[in-house]
Amino acid sequence: MIIAIEGCAHGELDQIYRSVENLSRQRNVKVDLLICCGDFQAVRNESDLQCMAVPDKFRHICTFYKYYSGEVKAPILTLFIGGNHEASNYLQELAYGGWVAPNIYYLGYAGVVKFGGIRIAGISGIFKGHDYLKGHFEKPPYTSGTMRSAYHVRSLEVFRLKQLKESIDIFISHDWPRGIYNYADTRELLHWKPFFRDEIANNVLGSQAGEILLHELKPKYWFSAHLHCRFAATVQHNETQSTNFLALDKCLPRRQYLELIEVPHDTNQGLELCYDPHWLAILRSTNHLLSVRPTNQYLPSGGPGSTERWEFYPSQEEIEEIKTIFNDDYKIPSNFLQTAEPFKPRPNYNRNARQAEAQLNPQTTEFCEKLGIDDPLEKLIGKPIILSAPVVNPDEIALEDDEEEEQLGDQSEEPACHESNDVFFVDTKPQKRSKMSLPQPQNETLDEEPVPKETEQVTETINLDKSSEDITAEDQPSTIKKFKRRNLELYMDQESST
């Protein structure tokens, strides 16, 4: 099975699908599945733009609306998780996952699915400690605060994922698991991202929740994005289990944002997206733990004298209940329905549109009724009531600290998501200074140059004493070359050289 892995999508669906097609044609393979590691930006219309906690320069309609409206259909089955650049109102309709457009499936706050026998798990959002223990209390119309906290990882999803015992083939997260930089050439990472130095020194770069899940679940592959660079590492858990970690960049010219990997699978299994029965059983048995309150929630831990159930690995009886409910047929139904009017292209669209009121999604309603669990959004709003929503002024949205690293790392970039038919280059070659260990998946190159042999894995201890070679974000040269997306000549020159 050939799977394409994409870093941060940032709404560039047209370009991503073109890039996948180009790579598959060059390798003479058929791509069976595309996985996107967050910042997908499933923006349906102008109102969805007002539910993205981003500076105005990143507030663009992009191309998703064409797939949502049915103008075009995704040529490859696409699976994605949420990041921190999302229309949170739309994704909140699908807390347990669902189709955001035909052939494009969102995994939900957290989820587990199977595809051709491959078990894929993932968690959406980014980690922020001050919201980690809270319930999913946010609802549209958002304030500037809840617009951000809506995409922060919660302990309930981590608790549920920790109940999984069977092997996980692929795990997807937006931010990196904390500490992953200790399993490869950290000096090389700091060469390209010197402003990570203090966070690495203090061991705060990445997600603490991700770190817990990495060592608890021990998946064969772990894919991430968020920090806008390519980074590979291998975590050896024990003699028989290891995790190949790969982070990829954002979809921009000359960035390493896309790779193809080959994953062995059961050829007797059909290539269709299916629910995982163990995950369904866990959702059902932990439904009573769901909170929609803005207060801290402490989950069962099995302390001394506790009589409350704290382990929710499904019993055989619970699995049999799931089999009965689903009639032993776990294929995910193709039941996508539009819940909002899609964007209609026009010269000057309304970037200051009102936020839409919260509404329930029929997919989630059907899923929850069938499984016998609660829809978090329904617990918050009940039956939707139409009220006038406040106008959200993008200029009043303060920049959260999780976006500061992005600005530091991308000072020279034009905002993504300009409409264009230009084909731009997918640079998946190792950078010139790269001495990282590059475990499988193997890196793909568009110009088919030979890839240098992998170097031996070395775990580095960082010398944090400052020297004349130390580079800070403020010290970065101001003459970094800009790659403007509207510069047609750049793309044409690059394409002609490949």
Cα 51–chain centre separation:
17
The stretch 407-430 carries a mean pLDDT of: 43
> Looking at the predicted structure, is the pLDDT value of residue 378 above 50?
yes
How many Å apart are CA 448 and CA 443, to the nearest integer? 11
Cα 232–chain centre separation:
17
Asked if 70 and 212 count as a contact pair (C-beta separation under 8 A), the reply is no
The stretch 222-227 carries a mean pLDDT of: 97
> Looking at the predicted structure, is the pLDDT value of residue 431 above 70?
no
491 versus 142: the higher-pLDDT residue is 142
- The pLDDT of residue 379 is 97
- The pLDDT of residue 351 is 67
User: Which pTM was predicted?
Assistant: 0.80
Cα 353–chain centre separation:
27
Of 105, 114, 66, the C-alpha closest to 82 is 105
Q: What is the pLDDT of residues 301-360, one digit of tens each?
A: 988 878 899 999 999 999 999 999 999 999 999 999 999 999 998 777 766 789 999 999
| Local confidence band at 5 (pLDDT 50, 70, 90 cut-offs) | very high
- The pLDDT of residue 416 is 45
Q: Give the lowest-confidence range in 65-74, 286-295, 350-359, 463-472.
A: 463-472
How many Å apart are CA 151 and CA 131, to the nearest integer? 10
DSSP state of 431: P
- Range from 311-325, 374-388, 398-412, 414-428 that averages highest in pLDDT: 311-325
| DSSP reduced 3-state for 301 | coil
- Residue ranges per domain, the chain? 2-496
For the chain, the first-to-last Cα distance in angstroms comes to 27
Which residues make Cβ contacts (< 8 Å) with residue 179, sequence separation at least 6? Answer: 203, 206, 211
DSSP readout, 362-411? Answer: HHHHHHHHHHT---HHHHHHSS----PPPBP-GGG-PPPHHHHHHHHHTT
- The pLDDT of residue 488 is 39
> Looking at the predicted structure, is the pLDDT value of residue 185 above 60?
yes
Tell me the pLDDT of the chain averaged across its residues: 83
- The pLDDT of residue 188 is 87
- The pLDDT of residue 56 is 82
> Looking at the predicted structure, is the pLDDT value of residue 161 above 90?
yes
